[in-house]
């Protein structure tokens, strides 16, 4: 039985290790700064609440778009929604190497009741970055996430 497991797992392990084309996939190519939830209307962005943040492109490639993931909690640390509190948003915006841009993600589609206090944000990370040269960087499990609660 052990030999069968070894024979099956060895090729899988080797393919995972050899699929890394460079050390670039082992470093985080971005920096998220000042993530926060704001309540109230922001014309053109959201009516009730939004998550604002700055994204710095630390890579040598131009970002075409990215997929962000984060979790929201109420002031007691509980999910504020009936469904999942994990928000995934795809942002299409060109960011040059070494440049920083400010972003807003509307939380209006998720809100059923406007909270008295802003939500707390945790587990913030980019799941995928697509570059202008057609390549991409992926972090499907949030290995480079920010693990602090932000208000």
Strands (E), the chain: 30-39, 49-57, 63-73, 86-95, 100-106, 120-131, 136-138
Overall pTM surpassing 0.85 (yes/no): no
Looking at residues 47-64, what average pLDDT do you find? 96
Query: 10-41: per-residue pLDDT in tens?
Result: 454 444 444 444 445 578 999 999 999 999 99
> For position 14, what pLDDT does the model report?
41
Q: What pLDDT band is residue 81 in, cutting at 50, 70 and 90?
A: confident
Tell me the C-alpha to C-alpha distance, in Å, between residue 71 and each of 35, 48, 98, 136: 12, 18, 27, 23
> For position 20, what pLDDT does the model report?
45
> For position 111, what pLDDT does the model report?
86
Name, in order, each residue with C-beta under 8 angstroms of 5's C-beta and a sequence gap of 6 or more: none
- Return the minimum-mean-pLDDT range out of 8-12, 47-51, 76-80, 140-144: 8-12
Query: 91-148: per-residue pLDDT in tens?
Result: 999 999 999 999 999 999 988 888 888 999 999 999 999 999 999 999 999 999 887 6
């Amino acid at each position: 039985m052990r030999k069968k497991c070894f024979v099956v797992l060895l090729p899988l392990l080797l393919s995972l290790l050899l699929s890394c084309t460079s050390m670039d996939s082992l470093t985080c190519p971005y920096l998220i700064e000042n993530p926060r939830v704001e309540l109230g209307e922001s014309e053109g962005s959201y009516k009730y609440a939004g998550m604002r943040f700055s994204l710095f492109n630390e890579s040598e490639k131009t970002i075409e778009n990215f997929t962000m993931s984060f979790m929201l909690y109420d002031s007691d640390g509980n999910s504020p929604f009936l469904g999942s509190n994990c928000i995934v948003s795809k942002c299409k915006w060109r960011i040059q190497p070494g440049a920083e841009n400010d972003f807003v993600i509307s939380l209006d589609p998720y809100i059923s009741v406007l909270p008295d206090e802003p939500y707390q944000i945790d587990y913030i990370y980019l799941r995928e970055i697509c570059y202008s040269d057609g390549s991409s960087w992926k972090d499907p499990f949030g290995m480079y996430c920010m693990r602090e609660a932000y208000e």
